[in-house]
């Protein structure tokens, strides 16, 4: 496998985050080209590339843009979902830190394509340094005449607002994000109407992930065939894979879609010395876990789906044998319980109940029927909650039970900390052997 | 109304094929074949939210169960509910189990127990036992979201009915969901309680016992209550209510479902202001003795005394002051007694500022005309113009219906008013600013055409020329015009002829044929009925002071509401003989020679005519008190005066009223009074919904939710008088003054607005003033 440094190509340069640094590597050439192109042709190009959303759901980006009704007399909006909060996901935030102009140029091209004159970048509020950096980059772009009124004499106006979230995971759900952006309490909206028809301020809105939008300038500059040289028919292109956990070199590896997890793991230096892989989660805590038997799976949307999981955010979390699966799942459920917005019953009450039962199991005080109860509760949440947060919360337990049922059963008598010394799974523990 | 054909779609629910209008929600379609899908957040009058997930059903072609409260039917849709789908049944049971894990299950001590949708649906659509054995979430309980509304957060299932009602229906988003996850809770902003006029509705639509009223909390169990359908006696909206009684005591009142009138809502006054009828009542007749003191008397003794005094006044030496709160039956009996027994036409129900122009308007355009402009007309109107009328304070259900229409986006509201009130803001009303008293000149800008409905309120009476001009303009434009009084009995009083010159059904006393026909229905000598119009309320008051009468018959008003309370009291003092028919002791009691206690609305059946002209019949709630209606008391007095007018029970009176309906003869002509120009600073005033009204007595929790009485002035007027928000304004007439805290508002200059009858602001008593009266404004000392 070869790495494909495109978005990450110049992250090691001292001024990679500046306009000058970005321009040195053909920055904003694509935007200039776009301004001379028919917007519909840009949408068609994106459709032709087969680019799929990098935020987790993998929805075809060009199709999403094509849903926006044109000549409807309403303002259109582009909203960038930079609320990266998924446990395990850490790719958008480094991207915005190291190469914010690729995002801004992407925003400019996408806005031009969907005829939006106002774009918002909604960044999670817990990362003020990233918010500062993106704001700085936006300021630079304004000063250089790349944003604002009548950009480069093209007659195209675009204002970009960098908005800080207030610390709710649910605001990564696109309609909750819109509510939050409108100044309301972030809770998902009833669909239909879908955002493409009535999104922000009840106007047609496209919501895309940071990485998706950052792909756009490169596609615009190099074309469909260039993009499709990587990946598969259904998962074309390249991706930021953020590998974390019990590996030698955790980090972001930009590689072609279709790269196997084994290859990714090799790039990350393999499992910690003297340890072996126990389980891994391909794309954030919301997707089902896999084990060693899945090492040779290509990292594509379709292969992951075939294996019963999802590519998700493409940010594998790797766990070695020192990890208590029970504790990992319990932590995730506590996260979902904490972040459940409260709107719908299954998610609000289900996460409360399941995390309570898991804590009991963690302490070795579980009951035999608890496992069956949790499995059933997950079924009651999955597909019955209002938004995907509930589905996500119902994901880790059944997947873990498939591979590690015995560990959960041990929770009836043995505290997890007794079965797995918590110290041994930490990063600062002395390497074994 | 046009009849557009409704587009129907075919849908199959649990194997039953049916057709329903396109756009129907699945849950509503299921109801039509008797399939009850469980629901909490769903409410037919609120927008779907699909939050509780109790109503999940299986829809063919959909991978996941769908919320039937939010999905509309489509052609060929096949739906399987809990009755024919294991998936739906399991999903519903699962949600029900989830809802109960953090619910305290304190049904035995909960107000809602016995009428609780959670309790009922947990039984019908839940698992028999919960598997949850962990600790439940706890909250401090209860907390006040207002003085009246209490919240037990641990009982809440987060259905958001209350918050959506407050936001969508009332337009008072003072409660909202706070926090998240299992800690999500309804709450208010600090120091900003849920003092909505409509707050009580949230208790009624709460599907659990999370919201309760201070008034009713722990007072009763639903299964101990006897429920009677009733009509609200407060304003002219005409709300259908349900009155719940336990052991002869009214425990609570609920808004009852009437799609044509109040839908499923009512205001807090209608819901909570009923203790006046229970405590502090007159219980026995009183007769003033030789010693000049009122003594308790037997009914025969009191009737004899009343008859003796009134006998001396027969043939035009008596007058009747009636008030605007009578039922149609009682008002009719008063009209009949005045003309047919006392032989006087000096009769008026307008115990409030009034004018001859108004009387002419009412005789010409209201009396006996039946159903006119309706709530449905408001909802369908492209444009509604409000003149001298504040719907939220004066007819709160009109406010709700207008808001509903405005939110639909097809109706625009324009207000000819002095300032943007809270109510007008919620109607997104366009303003035509008019200084109180100067409304006539402003009408030209109102763009009244044949798709306009004009609503005018009672204070138009104090603006000379306003009603005349409204008749002229609306006639010319082909617009609809409706007069909306403040009191439940005014429309019926007009129909009954409780106005000088006016007989029942819009007939005129000057019309000989009408006199003869009325006399024949009444069974009296037509010669008894005066042939010329008598005096109106202020005319009677003036004449009484000049010894024109031997006796006054007084019933059903508060002296302090009259245009000049001092003059009214002086007239009562001066009159040689006063008979008072009263529910509670008032200022009149002390001046009466005979006081006869009469039934409140709970103790009788009857009819109110609401502002639409719609008859709102109601049943008797309490029989225990054995009180008599005004009509029955008058019949007894008439008997004692050897003037037989029948029993005057409800059935008899209704039959007589029916015979006097459909008058086709001469009617009064519309008024044509010239407008006058009022210079200088004028007073704007109306009664706020919650104020010092007599019928709100005895309900401190309700009173505590009233709006703070403030003196509202525009920025320019404030500056001109050296005032700013928070200062004390002194509003004065030659009679006296009122001091209130200033609120600088967005409004017309050269006017000050104060509430008519609120704490520290009793306009009639203190100022002897009305809407449009010139007053002076100055800055007072430190507040």
B65 in contact with A, Cβ within 8 Å: yes
> Do A330 and A408 form a contact (C-beta atoms < 8 A)?
no
Give chain A positions within 8 Å (CB) of B51: 343-345, 386
Q: Count H helices, E strands: chain A? A: 18, 8
Bond into A192 cis (ω within 30): yes
To test the contact with chain B by mutation, choose from A350, A374, A384, A393 the residue with the greatest count of B C-beta atoms within 10 A, namely A384
The answer to whether the Cβ–Cβ distance between B51 and A344 falls below 8 Å is: yes
ipTM of the complex in this document: 0.95
> Do B572 and B557 form a contact (C-beta atoms < 8 A)?
no
Task: Please enumerate in sequence order all residues whose Cβ is within 8 A of that of B495, keeping only pairs 6 or more positions apart, or say none.
Answer: B328, B331, B367, B368, B504, B505, B506, B609, B657
Number of alpha carbons in the 13 Å side-chain half-sphere of residue A177: 27
> Do A309 and A290 form a contact (C-beta atoms < 8 A)?
yes
Distance separating alpha carbons of residues B341 and B320, to the nearest angstrom: 12
This prediction's pTM: 0.96
CA distances from B238 to B197, B260, B502, B699, B724 (A): 16, 10, 24, 21, 40
The predicted pLDDT at position B782 comes to 59
Residue of A nearest to B91 (CA): A380
The answer to whether the Cβ–Cβ distance between A345 and B157 falls below 8 Å is: yes
Question: How far is the alpha carbon of A287 from chain B, nearest alpha carbon, in Å?
Answer: 18
What crossing angle do the helices spanning A345-362 and B86-101 adopt, rounded to 10°? 70
The answer to whether the Cβ–Cβ distance between B182 and A337 falls below 8 Å is: yes
> Residue by residue, what is the 3-state secondary structure of B122-186?
HHHHCCCCCCCCCCCCCCCCCEECCCCEEECHHHCCCCCHHHHHHHHHHCCCCEEEECCHHHCEE
The predicted pLDDT at position B518 comes to 97
B782 bridge partner residues? none
Q: Map residue B591 onto helix, strand or coil.
A: helix
Give chain A positions within 8 Å (CB) of B49: 190
| DSSP string over B725-761 | TTSEEEEE-SS-EEEEEEEEESB-SSEEE--SEETTE
Euclidean distance between the first and final Cα of chain A, in Å? 30
Sign of the torsion formed by the C-alpha atoms of B752, B755, B757 and B759: negative
The answer to whether the Cβ–Cβ distance between A380 and B101 falls below 8 Å is: no
Query: Residue A72, Cβ neighbours under 10 Å: how many?
Result: 12
Give chain B positions within 8 Å (CB) of A384: 53, 56, 64-65, 91, 94-95
Give chain B positions within 8 Å (CB) of A170: 180
Low-confidence residues in chain B, pLDDT < 70? 1-3, 782-783
> Do B744 and B435 form a contact (C-beta atoms < 8 A)?
no
The predicted pLDDT at position B171 comes to 98
> Do A280 and A319 form a contact (C-beta atoms < 8 A)?
yes
The predicted pLDDT at position A2 comes to 73
Give chain A positions within 8 Å (CB) of B180: 168, 170, 339-342
Distance separating alpha carbons of residues B55 and B53, to the nearest angstrom: 5
The predicted pLDDT at position B5 comes to 80
Q: For residue A241, which of A224, A266, A216, A223 has the smallest C-alpha distance? A: A266
The answer to whether the Cβ–Cβ distance between A380 and B98 falls below 8 Å is: yes
Burial B147-165 (b: 16+ CB within 10 A, else e): bbbbbbbbbbbbbbbbbbb
> Do A262 and A14 form a contact (C-beta atoms < 8 A)?
no
Greatest CA separation found in chain A?
73
Give chain A positions within 8 Å (CB) of B177: 185, 342
Token pair in block for residue B270: 């209608």
Bond into B102 cis (ω within 30): no
What phi and psi, each to the nearest 5 degrees, are found at residue A106? -60, -40
Give chain B positions within 8 Å (CB) of A337: 181-182
> Residue by residue, what is the 3-state secondary structure of A221-280?
HHHHHHHHCCECCCCECEEEEEEEECECCCEEEEEECCCEHHHHHHHCCCECCCCCEEEE
Euclidean distance between the first and final Cα of chain B, in Å? 55
Burial B360-383 (b: 16+ CB within 10 A, else e): bbbbbbbbbbeebbbbebbbebeb
Element housing B376 (H / E): helix B375-380
Q: Count H helices, E strands: chain B? A: 23, 37
Task: Please enumerate in sequence order all residues whose Cβ is within 8 A of that of B543, keeping only pairs 6 or more positions apart, or say none.
Answer: B319, B346, B535, B549
> Do A241 and A315 form a contact (C-beta atoms < 8 A)?
yes
What phi and psi, each to the nearest 5 degrees, are found at residue B693? -55, 140
What phi and psi, each to the nearest 5 degrees, are found at residue A206? -105, 130
Burial A162-181 (b: 16+ CB within 10 A, else e): bbbbeebbbbbbbbbbbbbb
The predicted pLDDT at position A1 comes to 55
What crossing angle do the helices spanning B650-659 and B512-522 adopt, rounded to 10°? 150
Residue of B nearest to A373 (CA): B131
To test the contact with chain B by mutation, choose from A349, A375, A389 the residue with the greatest count of B C-beta atoms within 10 A, namely A349
Query: Residue B208, Cβ neighbours under 10 Å: how many?
Result: 23
Print pLDDT tens along chain A (433 aa): 578 999 999 999 999 999 999 999 999 999 999 999 999 999 999 999 999 999 999 999 999 999 999 999 999 999 999 999 999 999 999 999 999 999 999 999 999 999 999 999 999 999 999 999 999 999 999 999 999 999 999 999 999 999 999 999 999 999 999 999 999 999 999 999 999 999 999 999 999 999 999 999 999 999 999 999 999 999 999 999 999 999 999 999 999 999 999 999 999 999 999 999 999 999 999 999 999 999 999 999 999 999 999 999 999 999 999 999 999 999 999 999 999 999 999 999 999 999 999 999 999 999 999 999 999 999 999 999 999 999 999 999 999 999 999 999 999 999 999 999 999 999 888 765 4
Distance separating alpha carbons of residues B267 and B273, to the nearest angstrom: 10
Element housing A106 (H / E): helix A100-114
The answer to whether the Cβ–Cβ distance between A342 and B177 falls below 8 Å is: yes
């Amino acid at each position: 496998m070869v790495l494909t440094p495109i978005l990450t190509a110049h992250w090691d340069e001292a001024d990679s985050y500046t306009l000058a640094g970005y321009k040195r590597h053909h920055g904003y050439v694509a935007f200039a080209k776009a301004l001379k192109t028919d917007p519909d042709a840009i949408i068609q190009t994106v459709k032709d590339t087969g680019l799929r959303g990098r935020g987790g759901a993998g929805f075809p980006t060009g199709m999403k843009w094509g849903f926006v009704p044109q000549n409807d007399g309403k303002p259109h909006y582009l909203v960038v979902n930079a609320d990266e909060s998924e446990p395990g996901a850490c790719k958008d935030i480094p991207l915005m830190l190291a190469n914010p102009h690729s995002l801004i140029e992407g925003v400019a091209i996408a806005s031009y394509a969907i005829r939006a004159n106002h774009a918002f970048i909604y960044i999670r509020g817990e990362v003020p340094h990233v918010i500062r950096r993106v704001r700085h980059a936006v300021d630079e772009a304004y000063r250089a005449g790349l944003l604002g009124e009548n950009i480069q004499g093209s007659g195209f106006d675009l204002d970009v607002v960098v908005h800080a979230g207030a610390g709710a995971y649910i605001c990564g759900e696109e309609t909750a994000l819109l509510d939050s952006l409108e100044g309301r309490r972030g809770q998902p909206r009833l669909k239909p109407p879908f955002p493409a028809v009535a999104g922000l301020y009840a106007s047609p809105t496209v919501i895309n992930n940071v990485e998706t939008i950052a792909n756009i300038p490169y596609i615009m500059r190099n074309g469909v065939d260039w993009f499709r040289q990587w990946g598969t028919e259904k998962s074309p292109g390249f991706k930021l894979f953020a590998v974390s956990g019990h590996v030698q070199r955790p980090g972001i590896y930009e590689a072609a879609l279709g790269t196997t997890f084994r290859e990714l793991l090799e790039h990350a230096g393999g499992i910690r010395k003297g340890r072996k892989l126990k389980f891994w989660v391909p794309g954030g805590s919301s997707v089902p876990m896999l084990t060693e038997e899945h090492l040779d799976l290509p990292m594509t949307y379709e292969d992951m789906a075939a294996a019963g999981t999802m590519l998700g955010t493409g940010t594998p979390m790797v766990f070695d044998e020192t990890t208590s699966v029970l504790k990992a799942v319990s932590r995730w459920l506590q996260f979902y319980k904490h972040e459940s917005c409260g709107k719908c019953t299954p998610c609000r009450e289900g996460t409360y109940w399941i995390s309570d039962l898991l804590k009991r199991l963690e302490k070795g005080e579980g009951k035999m029927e608890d496992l069956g109860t949790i499995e059933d509760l997950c079924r009651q949440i999955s597909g019955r909650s209002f938004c995907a947060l509930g589905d996500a919360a119902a994901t880790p337990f059944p997947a873990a039970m498939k591979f590690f049922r015995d560990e959960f059963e041990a929770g009836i008598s043995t505290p997890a900390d007794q079965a797995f010394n918590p110290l041994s799974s930490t990063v600062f523990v002395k390497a074994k052997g | 109304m046009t009849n557009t054909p409704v587009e129907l779609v075919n849908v199959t629910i649990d194997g039953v094929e049916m057709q329903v209008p396109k756009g129907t929600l699945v849950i509503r379609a299921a109801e039509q074949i008797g399939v009850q899908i469980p629901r909490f957040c769903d409410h037919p009058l609120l927008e779907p939210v699909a939050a509780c997930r109790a109503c999940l059903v299986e829809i063919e072609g959909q991978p996941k169960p769908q919320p039937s409260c939010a999905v509309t039917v489509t052609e060929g849709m096949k739906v399987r509910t809990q009755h024919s789908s294991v998936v739906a049944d399991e999903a519903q049971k699962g949600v029900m189990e989830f809802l109960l894990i953090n619910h305290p299950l304190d049904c035995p001590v909960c107000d809602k127990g016995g009428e609780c949708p959670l309790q009922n649906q947990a039984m019908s659509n839940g698992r028999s036992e919960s598997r949850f054995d962990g600790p439940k979430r706890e909250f401090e309980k209860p907390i006040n979201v207002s003085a009246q509304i209490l919240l037990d957060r641990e009982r809440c299932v987060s259905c958001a009915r209350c918050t959506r009602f407050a936001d969508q229906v009332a337009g008072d988003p003072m409660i909202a969901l706070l926090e998240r996850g299992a800690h999500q809770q309804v709450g208010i902003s600090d120091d900003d309680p849920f003092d909505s006029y409509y707050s009580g509705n949230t208790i009624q639509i709460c599907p659990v016992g999370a919201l309760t009223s201070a008034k009713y909390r722990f007072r009763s169990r639903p299964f101990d209550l006897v429920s009677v359908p009733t009509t609200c006696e407060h304003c002219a909206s005409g709300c259908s209510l349900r009155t719940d009684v336990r052991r002869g005591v009214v425990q609570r009142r609920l808004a009852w479902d009437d799609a044509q009138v109040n839908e499923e809502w009512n205001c807090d006054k209608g819901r909570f202001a009923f203790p006046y009828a229970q405590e502090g009542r007159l219980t026995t007749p009183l007769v003033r003795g030789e010693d000049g003191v009122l003594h308790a008397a037997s009914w025969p003794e009191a009737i004899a005394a009343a008859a003796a005094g009134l006998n001396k006044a027969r043939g035009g030496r008596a007058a009747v002051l009636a008030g605007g709160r009578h039922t149609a039956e009682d008002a009719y009996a008063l009209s009949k007694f005045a003309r047919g027994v006392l032989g006087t036409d000096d009769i008026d129900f307008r115990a409030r500022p009034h004018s001859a122009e108004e009387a002419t308007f009412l005789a010409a355009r209201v009396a006996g005309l039946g159903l006119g402009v309706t709530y449905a007309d408001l909802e369908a109107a492209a444009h509604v113009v409000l003149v001298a009328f504040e719907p939220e304070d004066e007819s709160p259900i009109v406010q709700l219906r207008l808001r509903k229409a405005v939110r639909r986006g097809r109706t625009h509201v324009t207000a000819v008013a002095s300032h943007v009130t809270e109510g007008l803001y919620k109607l997104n009303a366009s303003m035509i600013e008019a200084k109180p008293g100067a409304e006539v000149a402003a009408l030209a800008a109102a763009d009244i055409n044949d798709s306009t409905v004009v609503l005018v309120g009672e204070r138009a009476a104090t603006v000379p020329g306003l009603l005349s001009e409204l008749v002229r303009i609306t006639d010319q434009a082909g617009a609809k015009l409706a007069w909306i009084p403040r009191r439940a009995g005014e429309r019926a009083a007009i129909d009954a002829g409780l106005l000088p010159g006016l007989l029942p059904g819009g007939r005129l006393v000057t019309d000989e044929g009408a006199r003869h026909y009325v006399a024949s229905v009444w069974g009296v000598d037509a010669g008894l009925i005066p042939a010329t119009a008598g005096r109106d309320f202020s005319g009677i008051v003036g004449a009484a002071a000049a010894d024109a009468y031997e006796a006054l018959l007084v019933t059903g008003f508060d002296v302090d509401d009259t245009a000049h309370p001092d003059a009214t009291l002086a007239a009562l003092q001066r009159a040689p003989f006063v008979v008072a028919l009263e529910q509670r002791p008032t200022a009149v009691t002390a001046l009466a020679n005979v006081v006869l206690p009469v039934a409140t609305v709970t103790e009788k059946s009857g009819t109110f005519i609401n502002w639409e002209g719609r008859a709102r019949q109601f049943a008797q709630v309490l029989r225990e008190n054995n009180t008599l209606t005004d009509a029955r008391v008058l019949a007894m007095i008439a008997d004692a005066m050897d003037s037989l007018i029948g029993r005057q029970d409800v059935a008899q009176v209704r039959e007589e009223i029916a015979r006097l309906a459909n008058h086709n003869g001469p009617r009064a002509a519309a008024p044509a009074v010239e407008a006058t120009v009022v210079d200088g600073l004028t007073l704007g005033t109306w009664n706020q919904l919650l104020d010092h009204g007599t019928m709100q007595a005895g309900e401190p929790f309700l009173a505590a939710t009233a709006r703070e009485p403030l003196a509202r002035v525009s920025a320019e007027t404030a500056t001109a008088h050296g005032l700013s928000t928070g200062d004390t304004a002194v509003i004065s007439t030659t009679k006296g003054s009122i001091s209130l805290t200033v609120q600088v508002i967005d409004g017309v200059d050269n006017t000050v607005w104060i509430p008519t009858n609120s704490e520290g602001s009793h306009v009639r008593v203190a100022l002897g003033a009305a809407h449009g009266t010139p007053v002076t404004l100055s800055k007072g000392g430190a507040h």
